C-alpha cells in the first residue's frame, strides 16, 4: 500500500476525531483577556508549517477581524521581530508552528518575540519540546499515531491538516470573543470545519484515480508547477513541496498572477501546470492563465470545485474538489489532489521518499548537514 495515499485516506477520521478536542483546547488556552487585547497576529514556521500559516491568513482576517501576517521563521526572527508595532503589551500575538517542536528557527522566533513583548503561542505535536517551552501558551496538535511502514519516512500530510485545523479554530475563537462573530455564526463555522471530513472524503474519492492516471501519463515530465492565489497560494507551495519530498522532482509553487509574469517564460513548453481555484475571486484570472498556458503548449490540470467548465474545457485533466466549502477553509481539501499526485508520481517512478535520506542527507538533527534543529540561534533582537 502506498503510505502517502494511506495518510490521505485517513484524513476524514482524523478531522472527525481531532476537531472537537482541538476546539476545547483552544477555548481553554485563548481566554477572553488575550483575545480582547490583541491588535495584530503574526504566524511563523518553516516548510509545511509556513504553508499552513499562508493558508489561514484569510480566516484570521475575515473571521477574527485581526490584521495577520504569515512569515517564514527566518524572515520573522532575523528581519521582522525587531519592528513589531509598538501598540502596547499583549497586543501583538506571535504564533509559532512546529510539529516536532525542535526546529531551531521557530524556537528562535518565539524566544525573540517574547523578549519583544509579544504574546507567544506555540502550536506543536510534541509536549516538552523547545517550541512548547518557548511559547507563553501552547496548543498541542498531536494526532493519533499513524505509523509508517518499516524503513519508510512518509512526507507529512496528517500533521499539515492538523495544523490547519488548529489555526482555523483559533480564528473562529478570536472572532467570537472579540465580537466579530456572533455565537451562532461561530457555532456554524465550527460545524463547517468538522464537515471538512466529508469534503475531504469526497475529494479523495473523486481525485484518486485521475491523480494516478496523470502520474502515469506524464511520467516523462521533468518538473512541475502549481499555481494558486489567496489562501491557496499556500496550497500551491505545499503541493510542490510534496512532489519534491516524494519523488525528488523539481517543483514550483507560484502565485496565480505571478505565473503570468514569470513561469509563462519557462523554456520547456510542455511543463505540467496545476491551476488551483476555489472561489469566484480569482476565477476570471485563472481562466486567462489557463488559456495562456495552453496557448504556449503547457500540459494543464485544473483543481477546482464542479461548475468550472470555463476552466476545465481547456485542461487536459480535471481534479474536482468538493463543492460548497468556503474559500477560507478550502486549503484543507484543495491540497488533496497534489498529495495524491505526488504519492503516485513516486510510485510510478519507484522513487523512495526523501531520497531515503541518502547522499549526505540524514534524519539526524532534523536534516543532517542542513542543521534544521541545531542551527545557531540569535540571542538578541536585531533592528
pLDDT per position as a tens digit, 152-169: 899 999 999 999 999 999
Tell me the CATH number for domain 202-351: 3.40.50.10490
CATH number for the region 3-181 comes to 3.40.50.10490
pTM, 2 dp: 0.97
CB of 192 within 8 A of CB of 326? yes
Taking only the tens place, the pLDDT of each residue in 249-291 is 999 999 999 999 999 999 999 999 999 999 999 999 999 999 9
Per-residue pLDDT at 151: 84
- pLDDT of 88 > 90? The answer is no
Predicted pLDDT of residue 90: 87
Tell me the three cell numbers of residue 98: 512546529
pLDDT at 367 over 70: no
Q: From the centroid of its chain, how far is CA 357?
A: 23
Q: What is the pLDDT of residues 202-231, one digit of tens each?
A: 999 999 999 999 999 999 999 999 999 999
Q: What's the pLDDT at 14?
A: 97
- Cite the DSSP H helix spans in 218-322: 231-246, 256-261, 283-295, 309-312
Q: Where in the chain is the domain with CATH 3.40.50.10490?
A: 3-181, 202-351
Mean pLDDT across the chain, nearest whole number?
A: 95
Q: State percent of the chain over pLDDT 70.
A: 99
Confidence of residue 321 (pLDDT cuts 50, 70, 90): very high
Residue 306's SS3 state is: coil
Residue scoring higher pLDDT (150 or 218): 218
pLDDT per residue as tens digits for the range 23-32: 999 999 999 9
Q: What secondary structure letter does DSSP report for 92?
A: E
Among the residue ranges 18-22, 146-150, 219-223, the one predicted with the least confidence is: 146-150
Position 146 pLDDT exceeds 90: no
pLDDT at res. 375: 93
Q: What is the pLDDT of residue 208?
A: 98
Q: How does DSSP assign 310-352, residue by residue?
A: HHHTT-SEEEEPPTT--GGGTHHHHTHHHHHHHHHHHHHHTPP
**Tens digits of residue pLDDT in 36-59:** 999 999 999 999 999 999 999 999
pLDDT at 365: 59
Q: Where are the alpha helices (H) located in 102-182, listed in sequence order?
A: 104-115, 130-134, 158-177
Instruction: For residues 106-110, give the mean pLDDT.
Output: 98
Cα of 295 vs its chain's centroid, Å: 31
Q: How confident is the model at residue 357 (pLDDT cuts 50, 70, 90)?
A: confident
Q: What is the pLDDT of residue 310?
A: 85
Looking at residue 360, its pLDDT comes to 76
DSSP per-residue string spanning 190-243: HHHHHHHHHHHHHHHHHHHHHHHHHHHHTTT---EEEEE-THHHHHHHHHHHHH
Question: d(Cα 246, Cα 351) in Å, to the nearest integer?
Answer: 7
Amino acid at each position: 500500500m502506498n503510505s502517502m495515499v494511506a495518510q490521505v485516506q485517513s484524513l476524514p477520521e482524523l478531522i472527525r476525531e481531532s476537531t472537537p478536542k482541538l476546539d476545547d483546547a483552544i477555548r481553554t488556552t485563548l481566554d477572553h483577556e488575550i483575545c480582547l487585547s490583541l491588535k495584530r497576529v503574526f504566524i511563523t514556521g518553516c516548510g509545511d508549517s509556513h504553508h499552513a500559516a499562508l493558508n489561514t491568513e484569510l480566516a484570521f482576517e475575515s473571521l477574527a477581524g485581526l490584521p495577520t501576517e504569515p512569515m517564514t521563521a527566518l524572515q520573522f526572527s532575523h528581519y521582522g521581530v525587531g519592528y513589531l508595532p509598538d501598540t502596547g503589551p499583549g497586543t501583538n500575538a506571535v504564533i509559532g508552528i512546529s510539529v516536532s517542536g525542535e526546529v531551531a528557527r521557530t524556537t528562535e522566533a518565539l524566544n525573540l518575540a517574547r523578549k519583544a513583548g509579544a504574546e507567544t503561542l506555540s502550536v506543536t505535536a510534541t509536549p516538552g519540546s523547545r517550541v512548547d517551552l518557548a511559547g507563553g501558551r501552547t496548543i498541542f496538535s498531536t494526532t493519533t499515531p499513524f505509523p509508517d511502514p518499516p524503513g519508510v519516512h512518509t512526507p507529512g500530510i496528517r500533521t499539515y491538516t492538523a495544523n490547519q485545523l488548529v489555526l482555523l479554530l483559533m480564528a473562529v475563537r478570536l472572532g467570537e470573543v472579540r465580537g466579530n462573530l456572533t455565537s451562532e455564526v461561530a457555532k456554524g463555522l465550527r460545524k463547517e470545519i468538522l464537515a471538512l471530513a466529508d469534503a475531504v472524503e469526497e475529494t479523495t474519492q473523486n481525485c484518486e484515480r485521475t491523480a494516478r492516471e496523470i502520474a502515469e501519463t506524464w511520467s516523462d515530465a521533468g518538473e512541475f508547477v502549481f499555481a494558486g492565489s489567496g489562501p491557496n497560494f499556500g496550497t500551491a507551495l505545499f503541493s510542490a513541496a510534496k512532489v519534491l519530498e516524494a519523488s525528488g522532482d523539481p517543483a514550483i509553487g507560484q502565485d496565480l498572477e505571478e505565473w503570468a509574469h514569470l513561469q509563462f517564460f519557462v523554456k520547456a513548453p510542455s511543463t505540467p501546470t496545476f491551476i488551483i481555484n476555489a472561489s469566484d475571486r480569482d476565477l476570471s484570472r485563472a481562466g486567462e492563465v489557463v488559456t495562456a498556458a495552453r496557448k504556449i503548449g503547457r500540459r494543464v490540470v485544473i483543481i477546482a470545485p464542479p461548475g468550472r467548465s470555463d476552466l476545465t474545457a481547456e485542461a487536459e485533466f480535471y481534479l474536482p474538489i468538493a463543492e460548497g466549502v468556503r474559500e477560507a477553509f478550502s486549503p484543507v481539501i484543495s491540497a488533496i489532489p497534489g498529495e495524491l499526485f505526488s504519492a503516485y508520481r513516486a510510485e510510478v517512478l519507484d522513487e523512495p521518499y526523501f531520497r531515503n535520506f541518502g547522499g549526505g542527507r540524514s534524519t539526524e538533527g532534523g536534516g543532517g548537514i542542513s542543521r534544521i534543529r541545531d542551527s545557531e540561534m540569535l540571542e538578541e533582537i536585531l533592528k
